[in-house]
Structure 1
Amino acid sequence: MERVMESKFMQSLQRFGEALARNKFLSALTGSMMGMIAVIMVGAIFQILAVVPTLFGWVTNDSTYYQVMMVPYNMTMGLMSVVLAFSLGYNYAKNIGLNPLQNGINSLLLFLLVAAPVQTLSLADGAAFSGLDSSNLGGNGLFTAILVAFVAVQVTNFCHQRNIAIRMPEVVPQFLADSFTALLPFLFNVIIWYSVALLINATMGITLPTLITNVLAKPLAALNSVPGMLILLCLACVMWFFGIHGTLVVLSAVLPISLQAISANGLAVAAGQEPVFYPIFLLGTLAAAGGTGNTFSLVLLGLRSKSEQIRAVSRAALVPGIFNINEPVTFGFPIMYNPVLAIPYILNPMLTALVVWLGFVVGFFKPPYIAVMTVMPLGVGEFLGTLAWQNLFIPVVAIVVSGLCFYPFFKIYEKQLLEKEAAAKAAEAAN
């Protein structure tokens, strides 16, 4: 392991990661994602409170209890992209010397402009209702939020550097002067993004986040084979690395295929026949242990880490990880835009899929014939989909394979953080 850690590839990867960390935009993005942990954790808690009673048949997804418990989830993780748009605009502007609060607000409003424009609906009683469509404000709007915040701050910085602004006399209060200074850059941003939103809506009748998802999803439906599933697993994780909800993109492309395969097996079992393996079932290895990227093993490694940051994130992510909720890991370590952890994050689902496929080939794992359409704790979804005890070992395979993949890269990242933490403590002691 020491030889692996000191190899030229690992050393170059570490230098590359450190170089990216010094980038003002990427450092702002990392800080923004870490700053969302409280929002994500509260959402995860209420999601768990909503899901657990359904496992025992106490409530259903249509019950009042479930709907009440999901309200805080929808107002936290369901608005994740809104939070990121504001915090990224704030932190990026701060990094390059602009007014952070003004840019954070501008980024948030511009994101809503392209992702959730106001819609007016006619109700049954004839009254009109105006509201925002929240379907793109959660995880599937992350890439749009990143794109909007980056461009919006860049436009503002362009105007700032060329003195394109309305200047007020010095006697005017500073907060009022700042508002007028921000007026022209914000106007230019609104023109840019509103034009984009109008163009997409006029030509396709959808929003920018939906367009991104559709464009990425359509060609993926043809990859219905074992090699195709490996490609889908890889692409889903690569998209997550760039802030695109890869899980949603892939599922939207292959969900009809998955439901068709499960339905066919359901009919076969009802007729007294054995369920059949379809390649689409390997897609479950994308999130078999801790959510997308099988990050539960990373949490287990982090619990014993020497880095205070990693230990803190891992402790917070442990219970959500058991319930296959991995946002605390994705945004807390983070994995997004972190090349050191991205490699095992992308690699391990494919290796897990190969091992699980061999399990199906030899007849140990059983193909599912019951549709499980919600997030479940480790192993529960695999068991309920087949009612076969053997499938409880699918998460075990995922934990072992992903742990072996994550470990050397985890140690590199831990070393980076330990150096930063030691430098921070030395500076604090000096002060």
Structure 2
Amino acid sequence: MAAFEKLYESAFMQKLQAWGGKLQSNKALNAISSGMMSAMGVILAGAIFTILATLLNLAGVLETTDTLYQWLTTPYNMTMGILSVVVSFAVGYVYSRNLGMTSNLASGVVTLILFLMVASPVQSVTLEDGSTMSALNTTWLGGSGLFTALIIPLVAVRIMKFCQEHHIAIKMPEAVPQFLSDAFASLVPLVINIFLWHGINTLCEMVLTTQLPGAITGLISIPLAPLTSVPGLIVLAIISQLLWGFGIHGTIAVYPVIMAPLLTYYQTNAELVAQGLDPVFAPIAIWGVLNCCGGSGNVLSLTVMMLRAKSEQLRAVSKAGIVPVLFNLNEPIAFGAPIMYNPVLIIPFILNVAVCMLVVYAGYMVGFFQPGYILIMTTLPVVLQSFMPSLAWQNLLIAPLVFVISFVIYYPFFKVYDRQLCEKEAAVKAEAEVQAA
């Protein structure tokens, strides 16, 4: 414990905590953090049905084409599948409240509308029978559109705040109910925001042939394309984890970069195995190490620690998130701890991935771990995630190995963060007792 006391009191940790305090007190970053945490219920609800569908599929009870399987995945599609829609509303609502605005609900509605406008504008679709219908493309409504769902509220609410401060609004008589007055007050800034965001989105479609979320993801992925060697993949993984720390779905951001070599790797090895030959190693094989033990950042070890935390917040989050994390769904912990915009936890979140990838790479090099030849395009439970692509017993040990390494790396930072939260919780309780007295 003395070692942790020294770590907690070290200049590095003191500066890190001070920086974290500044980030958390920032009104915009606080809105992002609070908005994401408010989506916890949505995330967990979607995870429950995903886990049930996955278990029934793995047990051979259901095929992915079965009606019941589709029924079970519908709640996921309408929760995690539209996560960015929820976040766009929540961040807009919280940010307007942080800025002292009165029309918080209207602000959330406006930011939700703006996000839908750029991420999923209504399209006319022709069906097989020749009839047409209006439809929304869901490509960018889930985690892939999250960064856009964070940017729009921060800018749009600021525009609304400017209009409010400078009385640029339609004024209603005092006898009009407040909710109706707020709705009319938001009309002018809404029109301004529509021109701004619809214009930017149209420009992206004309110049980049994609919508704004796709343009953002594409621009992020361009400089990452050459990183397909072992050192390059580790750098790519570090960048992916860093993006997670800033509220960007890092896995999706780098997906265009890793997809081609990943498909080539599995296709080549599948052909070799079909010919009776052994599959061969390629650098892309180590990519899955970054999310094989609890999702991106290998947060299973962190979740286990949180179950025994002194902080009430961490214990509550871990109890809610342990089952999804066992199925490699990291969102409950990433949003709930939170890891995003948390400099204390983002360091081990990044560091453990780099170390684990190097260790597993060494295992491949000595011939212990076996290359994969089965492309798995879905999330599987811990252990199965690294076993199924190769069906080699050796690869059953990848997840336990990663768990141990990540546990060692997370532990000192977890202890510091747990103590930090305990101090805050104690201060809140003391204040509540004073007010009650």
Give the TM-score band, short-chain normalised. over 0.9
Alignment of 1:36-47 (within 5 A): 36-47=39-50
State the shift of 1:191 in Å. Answer: 0.9
Conserved in 2, the CA contact under 8 Å of 1:33 and 1:334?
no
Match of 1:16 in 2: 19
Match of 1:274 among 275, 278, 299: 278
Return the alpha-carbon distance in structure 1 between the equivalents of residues 127 and 276 of structure 2.
Answer: 48
Match of 2:30 in 1: 27
Return the alpha-carbon distance in structure 2 between the equivalents of residues 363 and 9 of structure 1.
Answer: 40
Structure 2 residue 216 is the aligned partner of structure 1 residue 237: no
Counterparts in 2 of 1:170 and 1:230: CA distance versus 1, 3 Å: same
Give the gaps of 5 or more residues in structure 2. Answer: none
Match of 2:411 among 407, 410, 427: 407
TM-score normalized by structure 2?
0.96
User: What letter is aligned with 1:147?
Assistant: I
State the shift of 1:175 in Å. Answer: 2.8
Alignment of 1:144-159 (within 5 A): 144-159=148-163
Deviations 1:47-82 (A, max 9, x none): 001111111222222221211100000000111000
Return the alpha-carbon distance in structure 2 between the equivalents of residues 24 and 384 of structure 1.
Answer: 45
State the shift of 1:405 in Å. Answer: 1.6
Match of 2:323 in 1: 319
State the shift of 1:8 in Å. Answer: 0.9
Match of 1:165 in 2: 169
Structure 2 residue 230 is the aligned partner of structure 1 residue 223: no
Match of 1:7 among 4, 7, 10: 10
> Which aligned runs of 4 or more in structure 1 are off by greater than 3 angstroms?
none
Match of 2:95 in 1: 92
SS at match of 2:224: helix
Percent of aligned pairs with the same residue? Answer: 47
State the shift of 1:245 in Å. Answer: 1.4
Deviations 1:151-207 (A, max 9, x none): 011101111222222222333333332222211111111111111111111223311
State the shift of 1:211 in Å. Answer: 1.2
State the shift of 1:384 in Å. Answer: 1.4
Match of 1:179 in 2: 183
Structure 2 residue 208 is the aligned partner of structure 1 residue 204: yes
Match of 1:76 among 53, 66, 79: 79
TM-score normalized by structure 1?
0.97
Match of 1:394 among 398, 412, 416: 398
Return the alpha-carbon distance in structure 2 between the equivalents of residues 171 and 249 of structure 1.
Answer: 50
Conserved in 2, the CA contact under 8 Å of 1:378 and 1:395?
yes
Match of 1:358 among 359, 362, 366: 362
User: What letter is aligned with 1:311?
Assistant: R
Q: Which moved more, 1:339-348 or 1:300-309?
A: 339-348
SS at match of 2:20: helix
Deviations 1:275-326 (A, max 9, x none): 2110001101110100001111110110000001100100111111111011
User: What letter is aligned with 1:176?
Assistant: L
State the shift of 1:224 in Å. Answer: 1.6
SS at match of 2:391: coil
Structure 2 residue 312 is the aligned partner of structure 1 residue 308: yes
Counterparts in 2 of 1:172 and 1:54: CA distance versus 1, 3 Å: closer
Match of 2:217 among 210, 213, 216: 213
Q: Which moved more, 1:390-399 or 1:303-312?
A: 390-399
Conserved in 2, the CA contact under 8 Å of 1:14 and 1:412?
no
The alignment's C-alpha RMSD in Å is: 1.3
State the shift of 1:39 in Å. Answer: 0.6
Return the alpha-carbon distance in structure 1 between the equivalents of residues 298 and 119 of structure 2.
Answer: 29
Counterparts in 2 of 1:171 and 1:317: CA distance versus 1, 3 Å: closer
Return the alpha-carbon distance in structure 1 between the equivalents of residues 181 and 388 of structure 2.
Answer: 61
Conserved in 2, the CA contact under 8 Å of 1:290 and 1:296?
yes
SS at match of 2:139: helix
SS at match of 2:91: helix
State the shift of 1:104 in Å. Answer: 0.4
User: What letter is aligned with 1:399?
Assistant: F
State the shift of 1:253 in Å. Answer: 1.7
Match of 1:107 among 108, 111, 118: 111
Q: Which moved more, 1:154-163 or 1:43-52?
A: 154-163
Return the alpha-carbon distance in structure 2 between the equivalents of residues 395 and 329 of structure 1.
Answer: 18
Match of 1:371 in 2: 375
Return the alpha-carbon distance in structure 2 between the equivalents of residues 9 and 306 of structure 1.
Answer: 23
User: What letter is aligned with 1:338?
Assistant: N
| Corresponding residue pairs, total | 431
Deviations 1:230-263 (A, max 9, x none): 0111111111112221111222221121111112
Return the alpha-carbon distance in structure 1 between the equivalents of residues 156 and 390 of structure 2.
Answer: 49
Q: Which moved more, 1:242-251 or 1:280-289?
A: 242-251
Return the alpha-carbon distance in structure 1 between the equivalents of residues 276 and 185 of structure 2.
Answer: 74
Return the alpha-carbon distance in structure 2 between the equivalents of residues 429 and 411 of structure 1.
Answer: 27
State the shift of 1:420 in Å. Answer: 1.5
Q: Which moved more, 1:396-405 or 1:370-379?
A: 396-405
Match of 2:421 in 1: 417
Q: Which moved more, 1:269-278 or 1:390-399?
A: 269-278
Give the gaps of 5 or more residues in structure 1. Answer: none
Return the alpha-carbon distance in structure 1 between the equivalents of residues 329 and 14 of structure 2.
Answer: 32
SS at match of 1:129: strand
Conserved in 2, the CA contact under 8 Å of 1:232 and 1:250?
yes
Counterparts in 2 of 1:175 and 1:269: CA distance versus 1, 3 Å: closer
Q: Which moved more, 1:101-110 or 1:209-218?
A: 209-218
Match of 1:260 in 2: 264
